[in-house]
Structure 1
Amino acid sequence: MANIKSAKKRIKVIAKKTARNRMVKSQLKTAIRRFEDALNSKSFDDAKAKLRFIEKKLHQAAAKGVIHKSKASRSVSRLATKLNKAL
């Protein structure tokens, strides 16, 4: 356990940031799962709307440093390819 005041503060800050990162990543995974469910159920209009939402959220997460910007772009690209193949 840390004894120095600044180290104690860093522990609290890191815990907050870790919780936020987990929350954002969980939301992304849920959104991606819902997109794939819409794709599997052949509701393409719904899937397109969900893809736009996912793209926005992925780039927001990348801007905040939750994920790398290349990962965000790669994920959007792969999901768009899945959608285009299904159409």
Structure 2
Amino acid sequence: MFKRIFWFLVGLATGLVIASKAQAYVRAHTPRMAREFVLGPDQDNVTLRTLGSLLEDFNKYRAEKETEMNTTYAEKYGKR
């Protein structure tokens, strides 16, 4: 189990380093207008916006699934 955790953390760290290096490369070698088109006007907070939208999508899906499960449960066990 510890091997899996270790390799997961190694992969996560490697992915973060590669992503940050790629983002720095894009910022350094892309014209401003092209960067703004791809990354948006607020380029310093791309990571936070991405994480925020992922969290928002997760919460929306969770709420939908919870409602679906509650409805199914109420239909199945509510009428006895």
TM range (shorter): 0.3 to 0.5
Higher relative contact order (CA 8 A, sep 6+): 1
TM-score normalised over the length of structure 2: 0.46
